Amino acid sequence: METDNTIRRLKTVEGHMRGVIRMVEEDAYCIDVIRQIQAIEAALNKVSSRILEDHLNSCVITAVQGNNKKERERVLKEITEVFEMSTKV
């Protein structure tokens, strides 16, 4: 995983989140607040996708190519659970 890049992106999200909190404290226009929240969600989704991609290209490939059936089943179950959680609202 590109840890430095991930941390930089998360710190950017953190800064945006502080900005949204400030907007709410200052009674900013609701639609502007919602748009900023949507931008934060999109940024978090991007970070999540990159982390998942790294995981698929490392841990999952290692498990699938390995001889341990339980480990293969475990990592595949984790991936399924991540996708199931992403569809819940």
- 12-16: average pLDDT: 97
pLDDT at 86: 82
Sign of the Cα torsion 68, 70, 74, 76 reads: positive
pLDDT at 36: 98
Rounded CA-CA distance 71/82 in Å is 17
Percent of all residues in the chain with a pLDDT value above 90, rounded to a whole number: 87
8-state DSSP, 57: I
42, 12 Cβ separation under 8 angstroms = no
Digit-coded pLDDT (tens) for 28-51: 999 999 999 999 999 999 999 999
pLDDT at 32: 98
Superfamily the domain 3-86 falls into: Metal-sensitive repressor, helix protomer (1.20.58.1000)
